[in-house]
A and B are shown apart, each in its own frame.
Chain A
Amino acid sequence: MKLEGSETGDSMKKFVLALPFIAGALVLFFILDLMLGSVNIPPDAILSILTGGEIKETWMHIFWDWRVPKAVTAVFAGAALALSGLLMQTFFRNPLADPYILGISSGASLGVAIVMMSAGICGAGAVFASVGLMGDMSISVAAILGAFAVLLLILLISSKIQSNITILILGIMVSYISGALVTVLLQFTDETSMHTYSLWTFGSFTGVTWSQLPIMVFLLALGFILSFCLIKPLNALLLGEQYAESMGMNYRRIRIVIITTTALMAGVVTAFCGPIGFLGIAIPHFCRSFFVTADHRVLVPGCILAGGIIALITDIISHVPGTDIVLPLNAITALFGAPVVIWVIVRGTKFGRGVTT
């Protein structure tokens, strides 16, 4: 693709033209994610499930209780991570910013670690090691509580501070503190809890049950709506906060909305899927290079779609189709995603230009 700016500023029009293809790709990979896995379900079987036809009982179970929630989770989590990464990169005007830069996932990790370790100490570790509803829910609740504790802390501090670079540094400090506390906690736990915890840190789209799914989808959709409302101020922030303020933007208010929206999405994803890395930092860059614009009217919907697609692909790969092997999701996102993103960013552009925010 030749890199060129849009004469009329309507990168939007190009995006609308490309939209059917991107949406088509999303549907395609969604279906593939339903089909492929340790047991491959052929397309005609999928068709007959949807039309109410007769198929094997085990396929029915795998399809409804396992594959559908997993695919929906992948789409929403991928989109949310991409969006919150975009928000943070624009807000901090830093290409290295990611959804977790405010320390949100570290807070969530700490919450999860506390719950797992205390359970382990009380001898109830087995509850969490299983995939029972009770265990999963308490992990999610712990993660959300941890994430929001960090959010409150950041908001409280940022109300007293002008510079957003200071907030960035504070977020990183909070990450270090939570990380340190988790390490200390790990010293005092048994093997099982430690293993469960490290499995959680690998990240996974599986394990979200039908009872949890609506909660997750609702909260993330709320984050998507808030992101759409932020399009205009985000565009203004591309010129820096001083210009944005001179154009009539209420910086302090927008800052709170951006931080809260990011924390909501990153916190919820971490709560249900664990701290999934890479997608949040890479997909916004991928979208900027792919759509050749920094306009958030394109990037916000673009990140939702691209985030969903890429999360589905990584999920398919991590469940190595046709085998029982399940690779850690975080390894797959980086291992397969990084070369693709490097290729998109470097291809046809002057080196390094692709990462400008």
Chain B
Amino acid sequence: MSGTKILTCANLSIGYRSQKEVIKEVSKGLDLSLLRGELVCLIGPNGSGKSTLIRTLTGIQPALCGEVRLLDRKIGEFTPEEKAKTLSVVLTSQVQAGFLTAFDIVALGRFPYTNWAGRLTGPDREIVYSALASVGAKDLAGRFIHEMSDGERQKVMIARALAQEPELMVLDEPTAYLDLPHKIETMRILRQVAQKTKKSILLSTHDLNLAIRCADQLWIIDRRGTMISGTPEDLVLSGIFGSAFEIEGVHFDPVRGEFSIPVEKRGTFALSAPGSVERVWTLYALERIGFLPSAGEEADIHIAIRMEHDSVRWHYDHPEGEIECRSIRELIDCIARHHTGGDAH
């Protein structure tokens, strides 16, 4: 069934209107499609219309023109219950519910399937447990949501969306509030869910580095509301990705796949070292303090890394003699002392 279009829209305009008058058109002419089992990251600067697009695609807000089709049916034609069985959401706002266990929360995902009193049947229970297991939160089942960390809570909310057994899950900034390892963990869980359960996932995020590495497809909205979609690697290679986000002084490094922090250039260096982790991090350190690799010409400073037995030594070549450093910290101090021509004294 892979390759089936779950969500499509053609010539869609999004924005706000009051009565009949269009107040603000955020973006127009959107042609998008989302396939089964695909993970799509929606990225764009603040105020570019990510939320508006998500609200329009999930049918919360009407489109200005064009239409959104879910499983090849207009989204407006779905009854609330049918829509709940096809599309589930994870919102940015944190859930403030006391005295509810993770199990209770995930069980609420069965809402469209249970009877008037919300009674869980045996199969419902199994679905709840397997949803918790898919996000690696099985041991959280009996814990209260208000006692969980942000990362754990996010897992539970994703499990709840899963328990709703939708075709498409839409997550609004699921990695906000999380620290880096938990951001990565959340993305890994979503990747796994998309691959294993063949559910489609659309998420908005500000974590561009993660988006490039995780998404099957990127939807980029730039400041002018122009939408570009494509495979992340293609968008990086064509330079579209960089130009959509670069601002004064901040540039995208297509080789490393991240935004570089600009520093004032203080000189050039020549580094002789074996290809090792130490080499990479020494390069980062030199770059951070303002030294760039010399391109052919005589370098201002010369550094060599030598691996002896278990220890690593940095050798800083200095007119007065070679200095051996035991750590990058020492190396940086040496360069500061000697290179600036005595400024550091």
Contacts and interface: CB of A to CB of B under 8 A. Distances in A.
Interface of A: 4-9, 11, 93, 228-229, 231-232, 235-236, 238-240, 242-243, 245-250, 288, 292-295, 297, 353-357
B169 to A, nearest CB: 11
Interface residues of B, number: 41
Contacts of A228: 117
Nearest to B93: A240
Contacts of B146: 353, 356
B83 interface: yes
Contacts of A354: 98
Interface stretch (B67-75, B136-144, B196-204): B136-144
Contact of B101 (A6, A93, A353, A357): A6
26 contacts: A5-B104, A6-B142, A7-B101, A7-B103, A7-B141, A8-B103, A9-B107, A232-B111, A232-B114, A232-B116, A235-B108, A235-B118, A240-B91, A243-B95, A246-B58, A246-B87, A247-B164, A248-B80, A248-B83, A248-B84, A249-B80, A249-B111, A293-B99, A293-B104, A294-B100, A295-B100
Given A231-B117, A246-B84, A288-B98, A294 B93 contact: no
Given A7-B141, A232-B111, A356-B146, A93 B80 contact: no
Contacts of A231: 117-118
B311 interface: no
List 6 tightest A-B contacts by C-beta distance, closest first.
A356-B98, A248-B84, A5-B101, A9-B103, A247-B111, A232-B118
Nearest to A244: B111
A178 B80 CA distance: 39
Query: Which of A7, A9, A356 has the most B CB atoms < 10 Å from its CB?
Result: A9
B52 to A, nearest CB: 15
A246 B104 contact: no
Given A5-B143, A6-B142, A232-B111, A240 B95 contact: yes
Contacts of A242: 89, 91, 93
Contacts of A239: 95, 97, 105, 108
B117 to A, nearest CB: 6
Nearest to B111: A247
Interface string B249-281: 000000000000000000000000000000000
